[in-house]
Each structure stands twice: as C-alpha cells, then as structure tokens.
Chain A
Amino acid sequence: AQRVTQPEKLLSVFKGAPVELKCNYSYSGSPELFWYVQYSRQRLQLLLRHISRESIKGFTADLNKGETSFHLKKPFAQEEDSAMYYCALSGISGNTPLVFGKGTRLSVIA
C-alpha cells in the first residue's frame, strides 16, 4: 500500500537554525517524491521534486531508498519559511494521483 508518513505535526525552530522536516514513505514500485508548501492564505504549491535534484528557496531533499525517506532540509531557517509542508508521492509512470502525508506546520521564531 502507498503511504506517506510525516511524524511531526508541528515543528518550531529559531530563525537561522537548521530545519529538517521528516518524511518516510511506503511504496511497492519506484515512486516520485514531492514536497508541497502552503503559505498562509495561499494555494498549495510545489516546492521541489526528487527527480529534479534542485534547491528551491534554500531547501533540499534527498531520496534515500534504503531508509525510504525524503526529508526536507534547510541550513538556516527564515521567518518567511513558516508554512504547512506536505510530503507526497506518486507512481513514476506519471498520470497518477498524489498520496499526501498529514503535513508538518513549520513555525520559524524570530
């Protein structure tokens, strides 16, 4: 069964501190992993996808197939990073719906 687990409902960090949002997944095939972010009063938007191996707004995420994890990291948190973060997966063949984790609310304290 496909499942995405985000163990932390809320994560609070001080500005300038490192951030790690945890995501573990369960999938029988080869998944595509995504991080979506929802800022206050804004729509859900794509932050990054593992297949691109890019850094967006200072965030990176590496797919670890051995640990079935796709943790989101940023070395120095900023106040504007405060938002709801969702980890999601889909089948690698495309045209498949996303399975979302429950989300982690990141609060960056000044």
Chain B
Amino acid sequence: SAVISQKPSRDICQRGTSLTIQCQVDSQVTMMFWYRQQPGQSLTLIATANQGSEATYESGFVIDKFPISRPNLTFSTLTVSNMSPEDSSIYLCSVETGEETQYFGPGTRLLVL
C-alpha cells in the first residue's frame, strides 16, 4: 500500500484566482493520477502524471486550466487556474503501486465563490 497526503485539505477561493494542490506519497511510484469528484457525482479522471514527461489529460480537461507538475517520483501538484464556481469540487490524487492497485489521498475540498 501507499500513504498519500494532500495539501490543503480544503480551501475557499474567489473566482478568477488559482489554487495549487500538493500530493505527497511515502514511496516512489511511477504513475500518479488526479481525479475530480463534483458534488453528488462519481470520480472523473483529470489527468495522468508521469515523472519526467508531460501529463496526459482526459477529454474535457486542458493543461491551461489544470497544469500539473511531477518533479519526482513521490510528489505532484495540480493547479486549478482562473477558478469559477463550477470548479467547486473535491480533487483527489491517487497512485498505483506495484500491486497494480490504486490508493487515494484524502482529497482537497475546494469551494469557489
């Protein structure tokens, strides 16, 4: 398994601003994923982040809106840029371990006013 932490755990932001969410893992992992869970909805994959390469974004998500960094094998950031109320959501990072199983961070609860 893997122990994953996220910062911040929650935030309230004004529209038009940006927020960077950090994800830290206690072991080196190749694949990290960023998901969004909108109120009352299931999890939707935003992008896959590999160390040393550009993130791969899913349909409907673009790098200008959700830039991702993956500087090493234990850390990643997701930025939500130029926020609007529609970005209010829980953002989760997950990692895949050698057991081919994904483990999730506690999530970052974002409210955009």
Contacts and interface: CB of A to CB of B under 8 A. Distances in A.
- Are A and B physically bound partners? yes
Interface of A: 32, 34, 36, 43-46, 49, 86, 90, 94-95, 97-103
Contacts of B100: 32, 94-95
B92 interface: yes
Interface string B19-52: 0000000000011010000000111110010000
Nearest to B50: A95
Nearest to B4: A43
A49 B101 contact: yes
Nearest to A91: B100
A101 to B, nearest CB: 6
A46 B102 contact: yes
B48 A97 contact: yes
Contacts of B31: 95
A32 to B, nearest CB: 7
Contact of A43 (B30, B42, B44, B107): B107
Nearest to B107: A43
Contacts of B41: 102
Given A43-B104, A43-B105, A49-B101, A95 B96 contact: yes
Contacts, number: 43
A36 B103 CA distance: 10
Contacts of A97: 33, 45, 48
A86 B92 CA distance: 15
Contact of A100 (B43, B48, B96, B101): B43
Given A95-B30, A97-B48, A45 B42 contact: no
B106 A100 contact: no
23 contacts: A32-B100, A34-B101, A34-B102, A36-B104, A43-B104, A43-B105, A43-B106, A44-B104, A45-B104, A49-B101, A86-B43, A90-B102, A94-B100, A95-B30, A95-B31, A97-B33, A97-B45, A97-B48, A98-B45, A98-B94, A100-B43, A100-B44, A101-B42
Given A86-B42, A98-B45, A46 B101 contact: yes
A88 to B, nearest CB: 8
